[in-house]
C-alpha cells in the first residue's frame, strides 16, 4: 500500500501501516521483554522444558505490576547462556528492522545475569554480535540493575559496564520495583557511574509518586526518566522537568497492562484515553514514545504510535514526537545528524508534510 492510499483510507490498520513505515528510534525497550511466546517455547525446549505457545502466552496475561515483575523473572529463567541471548537479540533486531526502527537503545537486565552467576561479558558479546548481523538497524545498550535487589548488586552492574568500556554500552539504568529501595541508597552507585563518564537513567514515577522522579534527577543525576507518568499529579515537577529538559520515556500500553496508570489515577482500571502523554506533549515536557516490553504487552513501537495518534495527537504532532527520540538519544552529533536526515527523508517519502 502506498503513502497516498494510507492517508486517504485512514482505517486503524492503515494507521499502523503508516507508523510502521515511518523511520523511528526507540529509547525504552527491554530485550528480555521482547521475547515472543513462540521463542519462549523454543528456549525452554533447549533446556528440557516442554510447553505450548498457549501456556507461554498465559504467563503474559494482563495483571498488576507485581505480576508483571514475576512474569519477567520467569521468562528470563530460560536465558541461561550466550546462545540464548544471541537468539533473542537477533530476533529483536529483525523485529526492529520490520518496523523501520533505525536506532534503538536496548535495556539489558545485567542484574539478572549477575544474580544467576552468568558471565555478563560473554552474554553481551554474543547478543551484540548476533544483532549486528541484521543490517539496517543500529542497536546500542543500557546495562540495567534491579532496584529491589539492593544497592550492592546495582553497584556490581555499574562496575561490569565500566569494565567493559564498550562504545555499544551507552548508559546505565535501574528498573524493577521503584518502591523497593529509597533513592538515597543509590547515590553512591550513580556517583560511580558519573565518574566513569556513563549516561544515567532510572525507572521512576511508574508506580511511585512524582517525588521519586524529582529525587532521581536531583540525587542521582538521571538524564532521562523511564515512564514518569506520576508527574501528571504534580505541576511543579512537570515544570521542573521541562526547565531541565529531562525527557520522560513514555510507554502507554505498558502503563495500562501493569496497572501503573490506574494506580496513578486512583482507579481500578484505566484506558488510553486517560493516559497523560498528550497533555505532557502539549505542555512542553520532553517526551519520547516506546514499547517497553513489547512481547509481554502484546504491542510494538509502531502500534504505540497508532495508539497515540488515536489519543488525539495530529500528524504534525506525531512527527515531532517521533523526531524527539532522535534528539534525546545518547548519540554523537554526527550520528544524530545522519539519523535525522534519514528520518526527514522518510517523512518526505510518505508525503506527511
Residue written as grid cell 539492593: 150
- Report whether 342 contacts 322 (CB < 8 A): no
Q: E strand or H helix at 197, and its extent?
A: none
Sign of the torsion angle spanned by Cα atoms 314, 318, 324, 326:
negative
Active-site choice (32, 36, 178, 206): 206
d(C-alpha 248, C-alpha 118), whole Å: 32
d(C-alpha 44, C-alpha 38), whole Å: 10
**Strand residue runs (E) in the chain:** 24-30, 101-109, 138-146, 169-175, 199-204, 224-227, 248-250, 287-289
The b/e string for 310-326 (b: 16+ C-beta within 10 A; e otherwise) is ebebeeeebbebbbbbb
- Residue 167 has what DSSP assignment? T
CA 87 to chain centre: 19
Does the annotation count 16 as an active-site position?
A: no
The strand pairing partners of 145, in sequence order, are 174
DSSP, collapsed to helix, strand or coil, labels residue 180 as coil
For the beta sheet containing 248-250, the strands, ordered from the edge strand earlier in sequence to the opposite edge, are 24-30, 101-109, 138-146, 169-175, 199-204, 224-227, 248-250, 287-289
Q: Which are the catalytic amino acids?
A: 206
Amino acid at each position: 500500500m502506498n503513502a497516498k492510499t494510507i492517508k486517504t483510507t485512514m482505517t486503524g490498520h492503515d494507521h499502523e501501516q503508516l507508523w510502521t513505515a515511518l523511520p523511528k528510534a526507540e529509547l525504552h525497550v527491554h530485550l528480555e521483554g521482547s521475547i515472543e511466546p513462540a521463542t519462549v517455547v523454543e528456549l525452554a525446549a533447549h533446556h528440557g522444558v516442554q510447553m505450548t505457545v498457549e501456556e507461554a502466552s498465559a504467563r503474559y496475561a494482563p495483571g498488576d505490576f507485581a505480576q508483571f515483575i514475576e512474569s519477567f523473572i520467569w521468562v528470563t529463567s530460560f536465558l541461561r547462556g550466550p546462545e540464548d541471548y544471541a537468539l533473542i537479540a537477533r530476533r529483536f533486531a529483525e523485529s526492529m528492522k520490520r518496523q523501520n526502527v533505525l536506532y534503538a537503545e536496548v535495556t539489558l537486565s545485567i542484574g539478572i545475569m549477575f544474580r544467576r552467576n552468568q558471565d555478563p561479558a560473554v552474554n553481551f558479546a554474543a547478543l551484540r554480535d548476533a544483532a549486528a548481523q541484521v543490517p539496517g538497524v543500529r542497536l546500542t545498550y543500557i546495562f540495567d540493575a534491579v532496584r529491589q535487589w539492593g544497592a550492592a548488586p546495582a553497584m556490581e552492574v555499574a562496575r561490569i559496564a565500566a569494565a567493559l568500556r564498550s562504545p555499544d554500552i551507552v548508559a546505565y539504568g535501574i528498573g524493577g520495583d521503584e518502591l523497593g529501595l529509597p533513592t538515597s541508597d543509590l547515590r553512591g552507585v550513580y556517583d560511580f557511574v558519573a565518574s566513569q563518564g556513563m549516561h544515567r537513567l532510572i525507572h521512576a514515577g511508574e508506580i511511585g509518586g512524582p517525588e521519586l522522579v524529582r529525587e532521581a534527577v536531583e540525587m542521582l543525576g538521571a538524564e532521562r526518566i523511564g515512564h514518569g507518568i506520576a508527574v501528571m499529579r504534580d505541576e511543579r515537577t512537570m515544570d521542573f522537568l521541562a526547565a531541565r529538559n529531562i525527557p520522560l520515556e513514555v510507554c502507554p500500553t505498558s502503563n495500562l497492562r501493569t496497572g501503573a496508570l490506574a494506580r496513578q489515577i486512583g482507579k481500578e482500571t484505566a484506558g488510553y484515553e486517560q493516559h497523560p502523554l498528550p497533555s505532557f506533549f502539549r505542555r512542553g515536557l520532553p517526551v519520547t514514545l516506546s514499547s517497553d516490553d513489547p512481547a509481554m504487552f502484546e504491542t510494538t513501537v509502531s502500534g504505540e504510535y497508532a495508539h497515540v495518534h488515536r489519543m488525539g495527537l495530529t500528524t504534525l504532532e506525531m512527527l515531532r514526537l517521533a523526531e524527539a527520540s532522535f534528539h534525546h538519544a545518547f548519540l554523537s552529533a554526527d550520528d544524530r545528524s545522519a539519523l535525522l536526515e534519514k528520518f526527514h527523508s522518510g517523512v518526505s517519502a510518505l508525503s506527511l508534510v
